[in-house]
Structures are given as C-alpha cells and as structure tokens.
Amino acid sequence: MCGIVGLYLKNTDLRPQLGALFEPMLVEMTDRGPDSAGFAIYRNTVEQAQTKFTLACNDPDNQWKSIDTDMESALECNVTVQILGDHAILVTDADADGVQNWLRENRPEIRIVGSGRSIEIFKQTGLPQDVADQFDLAKAQGSHAIGHTRMATESAVTTAGSHPFATGLDLCLVHNGSLSNHNRLRRKLERKGIVFQTENDTEVAAGYMTSKLAQGETLIQTLEAARKDLDGFYTFCIGTAEGFAVMRDPIACKHAVMAETDDWVAMATEYRAIAHLPGADTARIWEPEPDRIYTWGHVQ
C-alpha cells in the first residue's frame, strides 16, 4: 500500500505556490507510505545546450568536494552544483552521456537520480513530512510535481528504492501496486543493457519505459505497450517536461481519483490529498477508468 499524488498548475500565476500546494498532498498520504517518500519538481528550465542532473550520495560531505572543478577539467565544460542535503543539482553543458560515464568511473558512490532540462527529483527514507522539510518542498516554485509515499512490501527500505524513478530525460514514474512479472522482465531488460540499482518492481517498470523510449517510441506508445507487457495491478503517474500522464491496469484495483478546475489538475490515491486545493469543492472530480491513458500538458 502506497500513496501517489500529482499536481499540474494550468494557471501560471499559481506556480510560485507549487510547493505550498503540493506538500500537503504528499504529507496527507503518510499513513499509506510511512517508510520513505519522494517527489519530482519541474522548474528552472536550463538552456537548450545544458543538462540538469539530480545526484544523490550516502556520504555527501566527501563526495561533493571538487566535483565541479574535477568535471570541468576532465570534460572541458562548465559546471554548477547546488547542494541540498544528500542530493545535489548539477548543471553542465557537457555531453550527457559523457557526464554519466565520468561519474560512473570517477564518483561511483554518486547515483544519478534524474536528468533533463527541468526535472529535479528528491527522495529519502523516513516520514513524508521529514523528507519534504529536508528538501524545502513548501518553498518550491514550478509548473508541476508528482510524488510518492512508500510502504515497502517487496524490497528493502532504502533511498535508492524510493520513488520517483527516472525513465528518461525529464521523465519519471511513481507507482502504487505490484508487478507479478518483474523478475522475468528484469532479466530481459538487463540483456538489453538496462542497469538496475534496486530490487524494486517499480524500477523494472521504469527500466521498461526507458528501453521503449530509447527505441524511439513516444510515451503514449510506451504506455500502450506496457498495458500488454506488464502483469499485475498498478496505478502509474508519469511526469514529463510539460505535464503528466496517469494510467491504471485493466482491473483498476488500486485507488485513484482525479480532479480538475480552470487553474489546476490533480491526481491522488485518495481524495483527501486533493481536498485542500483552492476550488476543490467545485472541481470536476472523477475516478480514472481502467486501462485508459490520461494526459495533461504536452504529452506525446
């Protein structure tokens, strides 16, 4: 049992309040996921020639030292680093694949949590309120965010095993449910070169999406294929650079509710996570249908 939430602000005047609106949604799902929490925020889009990496390290005091100057020297690029606890936001004009290879060879203790031009992913073990406080979620500005509170069932409680999981540039996934064929699918994806950091079944779903997208399929095509290839019960919320998508399995046994006004669209495992939003009392509210893909923003 986990909790997932998503908020997309259609009214740009509300974007300075994204964190203040979104944090209560995440915290409201604490009883569904007290083990760990995480969220992806879309904000501060970097230049076309740049890539923004969210990094995490279990020993930040040692690992962030000189990473900017060392990378600049090795890759002949520009680098800026903003440290946020055991996470850091690194922006560079270096080739993205080159950055990943350099980190793998020179900073193996550092994990790449996400990458793109606007996405920032933060996740940690502990209560959702503590995780939100650690990363100043309430002060965040941006266009949209998705989040997850985890009650671990099939794998260990770790930061790496927390959601969201990155699925590509500016893409990430949160999931409530359980996949029954994740071990077989994991082996198949590993043969294709997909690397996994945890035993989490959601990471397998993220790896599946990464593989499909790398083959040139659109997100919608990937989700349509997932309906046939992923066995189990699930509600997915997928963050993209311009919005988010929601999909439930054909049986739809995992809770989900959606609400929309002229100012925003929101999804959550339970309505109580949405009830505080301005105008929620007059919003259009519905339960997403099984085996149907919903999208907001520019999602292809």
Q: Which DSSP string do the residues of 73-141 spell out, in sequence order? A: HHHT--EEEEEETTEEEEEESS-HHHHHHHHHHH-TT-EEEEEESSEEEEEEES-HHHHHHHTTGGG--
Amino acid present at 58 = N
Q: Which pTM was predicted?
A: 0.93
74/204 same-domain check: no
32/95 same-domain check: no
- Taking all residues of the chain, what is their mean pLDDT, rounded to a whole number? 92
Quick one: pLDDT at residue 282?
97
What is the extent of the structural domain holding 230? 3-44+125-296
Mean pLDDT lowest among 103-112, 116-125, 157-166 = 157-166
Distance from C-alpha of 97 to C-alpha of 193, rounded to nearest angstrom:
14
Active site residues per annotation: 2
Q: Phi/psi zone of residue 291: left (φ > 0), alpha (ψ -120 to 50 degrees), beta?
A: left
Amino acid present at 100 = Q
Read off the pLDDT of residues 132-143 as tens digits, 9 standing for 90 and up. Answer: 999 999 999 999
Mean pLDDT of 168-193: 90
The phi and psi torsions of 226 (rounded to 5 degrees) equal: -60, -30
CATH code (residue 171): 3.60.20.10
Higher-pLDDT residue of 167 and 78 is 78
Q: Is the pLDDT of residue 30 over 80?
A: yes
Quick one: pLDDT at residue 297?
78
Read off the pLDDT of residues 278-300 as tens digits, 9 standing for 90 and up. Answer: 999 999 999 999 999 998 876 66
79/165 same-domain check: no
Read off the pLDDT of residues 230-241 as tens digits, 9 standing for 90 and up. Answer: 999 899 999 989
Final residue belonging to a domain, choices 95, 117, 139: 117
Distance from C-alpha of 212 to C-alpha of 40, rounded to nearest angstrom:
21
Distance from C-alpha of 26 to C-alpha of 268, rounded to nearest angstrom:
9
Q: For residue 16, what are its two tokens?
A: 């300075």
